[in-house]
Chain A
Amino acid sequence: MESPALDVDNLSVEFRTRSGVVRALENVSFSVAKGETLAIVGESGSGKSVTAYAVMGILDPAGRVSAGSAMLGGLDLLKASADQLDNVRGREIGMIFQNPRTALNPIRPIGRQIADVLIRHGNIPRSEAPERAIDLIRSVGITDPKRRAKAYPFELSGGMCQRVMIAIALAARPTLLIADEPTTGLDVTTQAVIMDLIGDLASEIGMATIFITHDLALAAQRAARIVVMHAGHVIENAPTRELFEQPRHPYTKMLIAATPDRVANLDELISIPGALPDLRRQNLPPCRYSERCTRKLMDCDQPLPHVINGSAHGVACRNPLS
């Protein structure tokens, strides 16, 4: 089997806060193959973004990777030096952030911002960078790229800013793209166009994509494989079709039942009882869903069988649905 583009194994992250240590991620494992699109879904607070930030080495100073590895080619990103990471970020891994308006530099024209990445990572002479930046602006479907290159982020719509972010992320033709909620806050019509664009460019340069979202329907439509997270655990990892047809974790099943997509009537939607546990607690049960779960057994107090890499349909549950 070909080596995966990114292989995250047993990643744990803690945040030190005044009110105690938040165990934000525990034994998170997943891998994404070259050219594959993987979606990470979960509710807010489930650890989706923290996973991406840990892999990129851009965790908040209060956060600390306490265990695990994230292999990109032969390099463990979690142990890499600052210099090594500088050469990986932007060149090997591109990232698209949730809010393009705050992620872009507000006082620099967008053409210059794209050129900066090309000069740093693109192996092209400085003098050619502005020209190439305009090509990239054209390739993400912005009309009149010459004029737009001189525009500042505030002069562009949200959808346009997101296109610029995509151009920046893909400028150096990375092998892996991490998109953290790339279309949250955009209109559905714009969302569809942006997701098409990411998909087309990814298949054009054979790039692996990790796509983080809270929208199950969007993940279903765009990803080949879905990782479901709950309270810092990966609780299920399965091919998209299988996940929807035969969810094995009770939480996944509830999440699908709460999505207002397939039902004909509001009463058919089912809410998930309870809330995410407080991750600062000392007495967190091994399965962080067990306090909300209707299928809880005595066994559930035993250590949780974490989802590991390599299985076709992984589930972190002692009493999974069959």
Chain B
Amino acid sequence: MTALLDIAELSKRFPIGTATGPLGRLRKRFKGGPDHLPHVFAVDDVNFTIQKGETVGLVGESGCGKSTLVRVLTRLLDPTEGSVKLGARELSLMSAARFARDPDRARIQMVFQDAGESINPRFTAFEAIADPLRRLKKLRGDALKAKVEQAATRCGLPLELLSRFPHQLSGGQRARVGIARAVGVEPELLVLDEPTAALDVSVQVVILQLLQRLKVELGMSYVFVSHDLSVVRLLCDRVLVMYLGKIVEAGPAREVFDNPLHPYTKALVSAVPSIETRGVAKLRLQGEPRSPIDPDPNVCRFYGRCQVGVDACKTSMPPLRKVGTDREVACHFAQASA
């Protein structure tokens, strides 16, 4: 069975500074060309697949490359290296600008973090939902109207709100517009970047349950990016833990959170506040993460903050390896426990 999305050896590096202009020319003369520009390794050699109907959680601290990774896999950014395969089609060779007009654009859609910020303030809710339908499905007139209303109803947005502008809607209603806009074109893969981060708990519940229902109704796969591990645990089948551009742990969500193997995942799970664990001694991460600029390929990214951290960790980077039946971890010392 082929996966819906297959990411292989994917990297995204951003150069720091400039190769053109007077500064760039000086640098070129003295240091020998733009090859010597330092790079931020935002996403570094990442491999994973997403099956049809699966919900994959992506967690990690800010600056770990989560957002860059989802922007590359939704083809809003061009990868530096590697492949992004949607079904049998290779997408990484096409530029992001060309993919925007490609028929397959409708198959991968995205829901952005703060719906208040990501909806054009001059568009009514109707216009916001209609825009991708016009561009990607070439719908006009009554067909368009019917489709917009269908998407709104699916997302629990009352039709009388369609004529309102974003500032006239509540946070929960805006979140619904953001979701309706993405699911209107009936994508196979929906990427959700912290869809509930700006919402109160009472509204968050409704939106999460809506997402769960839509997934089944429309047979979509989800990539769910979140800070909130208690939400990821409830919504996701599988979870990927990222640290400084690398996936350091992957596996079934419940197993990863109940029994984390990588020292970073352990610290992450232990830092989640819970009503139950009052007063329990916790594992704390000390210090700051290593620099993502031209990192030494032979040092574990987590070295320096890691509780284990022995000499082997500064001489070879641990690859992501299989542990047990369905879990992967990038640490020299992680072992499957009974």
CB within 8 Å of A: which B246-268 residues: 267-268
Asked if B274 CB lies within 8 Å of chain A CBs, one says yes
Report Cα–Cα, A241/B278, bound state, in Å: 9
Residues of A near B286 (CB, < 8 A) are 193
A215 touches B273 (CB 8 A): yes
Q: Which segment of A98-106, A114-122, A262-270, A296-304 sits at the interface?
A: A262-270
Q: Which segment of B113-121, B197-205, B293-301 sits at the interface?
A: B197-205
**A-B CB contacts (within 8 Å), total count:** 107
Main secondary structure of the interface of A (DSSP, over half): helix
Most buried by A among B206, B209, B227, B278: B278
**Closest beta carbon of chain B to A266's beta carbon, Å:** 5
Asked if B134 CB lies within 8 Å of chain A CBs, one says no
Asked if B168 CB lies within 8 Å of chain A CBs, one says no
**Closest beta carbon of chain A to B149's beta carbon, Å:** 24
Asked if B282 CB lies within 8 Å of chain A CBs, one says yes
Contact of A269 among B170, B208, B285, B287 (CB under 8 A): B208
Residues of B near A187 (CB, < 8 A) are 61-62, 227
A43 touches B272 (CB 8 A): no
Place the interface of chain A in its size category.
Answer: 35 or more
Residues of B near A261 (CB, < 8 A) are 230, 274-276
Q: Which segment of A52-60, A71-79, A217-225 sits at the interface?
A: A217-225
B172 closest partner in A (C-beta): A275
Residues of A near B268 (CB, < 8 A) are 188-189
B61 closest partner in A (C-beta): A187
Asked if B143 CB lies within 8 Å of chain A CBs, one says no
A46 closest partner in B (C-beta): B200
Contact of B200 among A160, A214, A260 (CB under 8 A): A214
Asked if A258 CB lies within 8 Å of chain B CBs, one says yes
B204 touches A258 (CB 8 A): yes
Contact of A260 among B61, B203, B230 (CB under 8 A): B230
B227 touches A267 (CB 8 A): no
CB within 8 Å of A: which B221-265 residues: 227-231, 233-235
B235 closest partner in A (C-beta): A266
B209 touches A269 (CB 8 A): yes
B200 touches A267 (CB 8 A): no
B60 closest partner in A (C-beta): A187
Asked if A192 CB lies within 8 Å of chain B CBs, one says yes
Decide yes or no: A192 and B205 within 8 Å by CB, A215-B273, A261-B275 being known contacts: no
Most buried by B among A158, A196, A218, A261: A261
A44 closest partner in B (C-beta): B200
Report Cα–Cα, A227/B235, bound state, in Å: 30
Contact of B202 among A143, A157, A192, A272 (CB under 8 A): A272
**Closest beta carbon of chain A to B244's beta carbon, Å:** 13
Residues of A near B229 (CB, < 8 A) are 188
CB within 8 Å of B: which A226-267 residues: 240-241, 244, 254-256, 258-263, 265-267
Decide yes or no: A188 and B202 within 8 Å by CB, A196-B284, A260-B234, A266-B234 being known contacts: no
CB within 8 Å of A: which B158-207 residues: 170, 200-206
Residues of A near B312 (CB, < 8 A) are none
Asked if B326 CB lies within 8 Å of chain A CBs, one says no
A244 closest partner in B (C-beta): B275
Decide yes or no: A217 and B209 within 8 Å by CB, A43-B200, A263-B234 being known contacts: no
Residues of B near A272 (CB, < 8 A) are 202
Report Cα–Cα, A190/B273, bound state, in Å: 12
B202 touches A254 (CB 8 A): yes
Asked if B288 CB lies within 8 Å of chain A CBs, one says yes
B284 touches A192 (CB 8 A): yes
A262 touches B276 (CB 8 A): yes
Residues of B near A262 (CB, < 8 A) are 274-276
Asked if B271 CB lies within 8 Å of chain A CBs, one says yes
Most buried by A among B61, B200, B209, B270: B200
A267 touches B201 (CB 8 A): no
Asked if A27 CB lies within 8 Å of chain B CBs, one says no
Asked if B212 CB lies within 8 Å of chain A CBs, one says yes
Asked if B277 CB lies within 8 Å of chain A CBs, one says yes
CB within 8 Å of B: which A184-210 residues: 187-193, 196
Residues of B near A158 (CB, < 8 A) are 62
Residues of A near B285 (CB, < 8 A) are 189, 192-193
B209 touches A255 (CB 8 A): no
Asked if A271 CB lies within 8 Å of chain B CBs, one says yes
B274 touches A260 (CB 8 A): no
Report Cα–Cα, A241/B209, bound state, in Å: 29
B273 touches A221 (CB 8 A): yes
Most buried by B among A191, A221, A254: A221
A190 touches B200 (CB 8 A): no
B267 touches A265 (CB 8 A): no
B198 closest partner in A (C-beta): A44
A266 touches B208 (CB 8 A): yes
B275 touches A259 (CB 8 A): yes
A267 closest partner in B (C-beta): B209
**Closest beta carbon of chain B to A177's beta carbon, Å:** 19
Residues of A near B234 (CB, < 8 A) are 260, 263, 265-266, 269
Contact of A266 among B212, B275, B278 (CB under 8 A): B212
CB within 8 Å of B: which A13-34 residues: none
**Closest beta carbon of chain B to A291's beta carbon, Å:** 14
Residues of A near B275 (CB, < 8 A) are 216-217, 220-221, 244, 256, 259, 261-262
The 10 A-B pairs of least Cβ separation, nearest first, read A272-B202, A192-B271, A187-B61, A43-B200, A271-B205, A218-B273, A217-B273, A220-B275, A188-B271, A269-B205
Some 9 contacts from A to B, beta carbons below 8 A apart, are A190-B61, A192-B282, A215-B273, A216-B201, A220-B275, A258-B205, A260-B201, A260-B204, A271-B209
If A188-B271, A266-B209 are given as contacts, then 20 extra A-B residue pairs at C-beta distance below 8 Å, sorted by A number, are: A43-B201, A187-B62, A189-B61, A189-B267, A189-B271, A189-B285, A192-B270, A192-B284, A196-B284, A216-B275, A241-B278, A254-B202, A258-B204, A259-B275, A261-B274, A266-B235, A269-B208, A269-B209, A271-B209, A275-B170
